[in-house]
Structure 1
């Protein structure tokens, strides 16, 4: 099971690329000793923070449902797939990115799923980030939740039925 390593990265849901300390991801990249690897930012440690606790019960229900869906999908030891920060080694990117099929909110779930399915498995590491929730989210809770659920089902069915192939060595 992956462990979360605390690396301080400041960001927000709005204009996160402008507020990111990329040197912290360089630090994470430097810790990689494996040939392939993915490091992802994680807000999982913030689950009891005021910004999450103060969300509507409906939004928290959707968040927990999404995590259950990911668990069923096979991403059991990844606690936050939607943070947005993904760092890959060049070898991993060359191996996985060309095989991706979905775009939008779920592309990173497919990326992580392929990382779990390929042989040898791609090591995946989550790192803590500091997160500042900012009003004005681009996410439409109802519409995007339905779209994400459908896309997850499409991803799962296509890989399960062998329609989409996991890259080979």
Structure 2
């Protein structure tokens, strides 16, 4: 995705805005992975699933925990109650220019407003994961100074 944003799929550049940014892309990928898993789970015969849950209580408990995590993520990242259509279809939408339907792009971004700002999206996802017993490692690239001692890291702002 970084390369696609950099070259605009051959157009030379891409506008990054409310509906198209790194936070939108990473959360779409997260939701896509969870959606595929849920589809596979739902494809299993319910009788066989209940039997598997009885015979394998520990993995069944982890599966139930994952399902609770998915619901919590959906509530936090889609507060309007609907997953964006492009996320449901796993569409690879690249950013656009300012002339490309700016109101439609803004509306699409607002439907998942917590992912409009990368830091807010990161904080939201990390908070949900931690509330559900997961561990998290947050890498902050702004703290990497390299070989230039005059560069001092600045802590990112959160909302």
TM-score between both structures, scaled by the size of structure 2: 0.29
* Higher-Rg member (1/2): 2
Between Structure 1 and Structure 2, the one with more strand by share is 1
**Which structure's relative contact order is higher, taking Cα pairs within 8 Å and 6+ residues apart?**
1
Between Structure 1 and Structure 2, the one with more helix by share is 2
TM-score between both structures, scaled by the size of structure 1: 0.28
